[in-house]
Amino acid sequence: MTTDGARRTGGWRLTDSPSAYLRSAADQPIEWYPWGPEPFELARRTRRPLLLDVGASWCHWCHVMDEGTYSDPEVARLLLQHFVAVKVDRDEHPEVDRRYQRQVGALTGEGGWPLTGFLTPDGEVFLGGTYFPPTDGQGRPGFRRVLAEVARLWSDEPERIREHTREIRDVLERTRERRGIATPARAEFVGGIRAAVLSAFDPVNGGFGMAPKFPHPTAVSFLLWDAYANGHAPSAGAARETLARMADGGVYDHLGGGFHRYSVDEGWHIPHFEKMAVDNAALLAAYVEGAQRFSEPRFEETVRGILAWAGEVLGASDGGFGASQDADNAPGDDGDYFTWTRAELKQALPPDEARFASRFFGVGTDGRMHHDPERNVLYRLEPAEEAAAGLALPGGAAAALERVVARLREVRAARPTPRVDRALYADLNGRMVGALARAGSYLGEAAVVATARRVADRFLRDAYRPGEGVAHRLDPSGPKGFGLLEDQVAFAAGLVELAGATADPKYLPPATDLLELIDHEFRGEDGLLRDLAPRLYDGPPLGALAEPSYPLEDSPHLAANASAVTTFLRLSALVREPRWRTAAEALLDPIAARVGSSGLFASGSALAAGLALTEPATVVVEGTGPRAEELLRAARRAWHPNVWVFRGVPPPPFALPDELGAGGAREERALVCFGTRCAPPVTDPAAIAPLLAART
């Protein structure tokens, strides 16, 4: 008698997966297994290699490979005959993705998604790559030919398999051996990273590096700190130009808000269209800083656009944000939802407004799609007043732009919409909590802070266990994925920011618990933090998971080790407990020893080192009445790299400099302190920002 599983073919094992990426493959003819012991046991029993596919629901080329390669009958036949196929969602299992990216990269120099790895039954990579078409083309070997050759190699040349696995182990071992370098002096480390970041800055287009060009919000924050601490004007200029060019570029969605993942060109015109919560949380925080530092209305507008997109597209009514919005809405699609032809604009808008939109959004210029030059990514080519010249636009350029955006949004909403992955992950939700707390405080909008509270409260209720930390994901069946560093750091950071923004002490005990857990459970080589705590991890210890891994470089968001340092420092300034500064200092030197040559990708570590050298600031607004409200708003809109703003004396365990502890005065005034030293009280709201900016 056969079991139901023995009778079935195709990806049926993925049908009930909590992962949208895995469920989308359930109808493929491939005998997919989800990550777990079963495929490894089958591979050992049948003496076959494993095919590991790692991708994500937002990944365009993952969809291309699913729709073409993994839907090909001959590929399915070869896999069924010679391999055990395992499919992994990198958002669901970042710890799996991290290790196999390293192993494949050590052998091929390639990385990214889809990640295609060929593994021994013990889980060691012996061959790999990224995207493969079903047959030879696009400058890449066809997967039919690759599978046939790998099957032959496995059968006929086992020594070559062992040679490849040894080569990967040797590369990784040499990488570990190179870590034992001398720790640079703190100022030398920060100065070296600054030089590398400014060297990578693109003075023509803003941003860093060449195409493809990713946003690097952590580098922007580091440059803002450098301009503050060292009076380095080029750093401020590079930060401002980068924020401005990204906000005007096609990498930003001018109709729906939010940023796409990256730009395929140097000028930010044509993006890869996926939108990810983790990207937008980091960019939201960066644009809040930019708006505070430069008082640019365009930056505040971008803050509001990110908030609107995140709430409308990713937000869950009971708290939390989904992971991403897909790049595509159907097989063969490449940005059709987000792009426009001249004919579509003419059909949607009155004649002069269509001309205005074409000029303003650069239709027919650098935003033309390569596969279909009739379709255009909208980006800001020229100021609205210039685009309106000679046109009859009731109410002027600003009113016309508002009407155009509203109408195009309405038309676009009727198109097939890219799918949203509504999976709830603690790391990206922690980042969103922190960014929302900062944005709500800056904007003076209680509703934004209330959204951050709902997210935090849901995860604290449903995914957090004292002494065990926060789970990586909230599945319908409950929390899963305990023991990952990124979740603990990101969520602790979000709780610290929320506690400071609300002066609500209830968020400090779980934040403290998470940071203590980080300090005790995740320590590894040289005192650095591992990405996985063996005692807490609730997943199966398969394949490469036994290998320790240390998230040290920004990717391009703040790396977990550097994020732990900044969170220790932020909490130390909030509650004035020296132990958190001590914990931060203990991490900084080993981090600097490892990432001193990482340039742009060590921006977060350099920022953390810089914050350790910078006295934190505290602003307390006293009194009640209109002037106190003006002072509070001015303080929250002013910029400093490490400042806390309070309305009156906050309750314990929040702590203030000794001079402010009594909080005796009741007149409407602001008290600004740096470390333990306070400036004379101010009553003019306009005096707060210069006072914070002047302290170096």
Q: DSSP string covering 596-635, please? A: TT-GGGGHHHHHHHHHHTS--EEEEEES-SHHHHHHHHHH
- Residue 329 in any domain: the answer is no
Q: How many domains does the chain have?
A: 4
Other Cβ atoms within 10 Å of 165 Cβ, number: 19
Average pLDDT over residues 2-9: 51
Query: In this structure, are 569 and 553 located in the same domain?
Result: yes
3-state SS of 428-459?
Answer: HHHHHHHHHHHHHHHHCCHHHHHHHHHHHHHH
Express as a percent the part of the chain with pLDDT over 90: 89
- Which residues form the domain of 669? 617-694
- Residue 331 in any domain: the answer is no
- Cβ contacts of 558 within 8 Å, gap of 6 or more: 218, 282, 566, 604, 607
Residue 1: the pLDDT is: 35
Average pLDDT over residues 133-152: 93
Q: In the 8-state DSSP scheme, what is residue 259?
A: B
- Cβ contacts of 572 within 8 Å, gap of 6 or more: 578, 579, 580, 581, 584, 616
**Residue ending a domain, choose from 415, 435, 453:** 415
Query: In this structure, are 106 and 227 located in the same domain?
Result: no
Other Cβ atoms within 10 Å of 395 Cβ, number: 10
Residue 331: the pLDDT is: 75
Residue 632 has pLDDT above 70, yes or no: yes
Dihedral angle, C-alpha 555, 109, 31, 49, nearest 10 °: -130
- Residue 283 in any domain: the answer is yes
Closest CA to 436 of 489, 495, 486, 488: 495
Query: In this structure, are 399 and 306 located in the same domain?
Result: no
Find which of 57-66, 138-147, 383-392 is predicted with most confidence, using mean pLDDT.
Answer: 383-392
Query: What does DSSP say about strands 125-129 and 50-55: parallel, antiparallel, or unpaired?
Result: unpaired
Average pLDDT over residues 217-229: 98
Query: In this structure, are 315 and 464 located in the same domain?
Result: yes
- Residue 565 in any domain: the answer is yes
Quickly state the pLDDT bin for 181 (edges 50, 70, 90).
low
- Residue 328 in any domain: the answer is no
**Residue ending a domain, choose from 387, 415, 443:** 415
pLDDT by residue (tens digit) across 321-340? Answer: 999 999 888 777 788 999 99
Closest CA to 327 of 432, 253, 414: 253
d(CA 197, CA 210): 13
Query: In this structure, are 631 and 603 located in the same domain?
Result: no
Query: In this structure, are 510 and 386 located in the same domain?
Result: no
* Chain mean pLDDT for the chain: 94
Query: In this structure, are 494 and 591 located in the same domain?
Result: yes
Average pLDDT over residues 294-311: 98
Residue 2 has pLDDT above 50, yes or no: no
d(CA 29, CA 142): 18
Query: What does DSSP say about strands 643-647 and 478-480: parallel, antiparallel, or unpaired?
Result: unpaired
Query: In this structure, are 533 and 594 located in the same domain?
Result: yes
Cis peptide bond upstream of 73, omega within 30: no
pTM here is 0.96
Residue 316 has pLDDT above 80, yes or no: yes
Query: In this structure, are 159 and 211 located in the same domain?
Result: no
Residue 272 host element (H or E): strand 271-272
Residue 434 has pLDDT above 90, yes or no: yes
d(CA 433, CA 444): 16
d(CA 490, CA 103): 26
Average pLDDT over residues 662-667: 64
pLDDT by residue (tens digit) across 85-141? Answer: 999 999 999 999 999 999 999 989 889 999 999 999 999 999 999 999 999 987 889
d(CA 220, CA 479): 34
Quickly state the pLDDT bin for 462 (edges 50, 70, 90).
very high
Structural tokens at position 233: 């004007």
Tell me phi and psi for residue 569, to 5 degrees: -70, -40
d(CA 513, CA 465): 10
Residue 290 host element (H or E): helix 277-294
Residue 174: the pLDDT is: 78
Residue 4: the pLDDT is: 45
pLDDT by residue (tens digit) across 33-81? Answer: 999 999 999 999 999 999 999 999 999 999 999 999 999 999 999 999 9
Other Cβ atoms within 10 Å of 153 Cβ, number: 17
Other Cβ atoms within 10 Å of 492 Cβ, number: 30
Asked whether 118 and 125 are in contact (CB, 8 A), the reply is: yes
| SS3 state of residue 182 | coil
Residue 333: the pLDDT is: 76
Closest CA to 689 of 626, 638, 632: 638
**Cα 574 from chain centroid?**
25
- Residue 289 in any domain: the answer is yes
Residue 178: the pLDDT is: 57
Query: In this structure, are 163 and 96 located in the same domain?
Result: yes
Residue 368 has pLDDT above 90, yes or no: yes
CATH number, domain containing residue 172: 3.40.30.10
Average pLDDT over residues 499-514: 98
Residue 269: the pLDDT is: 98
- Residue 330 in any domain: the answer is no
Residue 661: the pLDDT is: 61
- Residue 686 in any domain: the answer is yes
Q: In the 8-state DSSP scheme, what is residue 67?
A: I
d(CA 686, CA 692): 11
CATH number, domain containing residue 560: 1.50.10.10
d(CA 122, CA 117): 13
Q: DSSP string covering 123-147, please? A: S-EEEEES---SSSBTTB--HHHHH
d(CA 467, CA 191): 39
Query: In this structure, are 147 and 289 located in the same domain?
Result: no
**Residue ending a domain, choose from 566, 593, 614:** 614
Query: In this structure, are 204 and 288 located in the same domain?
Result: yes
- Which segments within 531-602 are labelled E, that is strand? none
pLDDT by residue (tens digit) across 186-200? Answer: 999 999 999 999 999
Question: What separation in angstroms does the CA of 386 have from each of 383, 391, 401?
Answer: 5, 10, 12
- Cβ contacts of 466 within 8 Å, gap of 6 or more: 510, 513
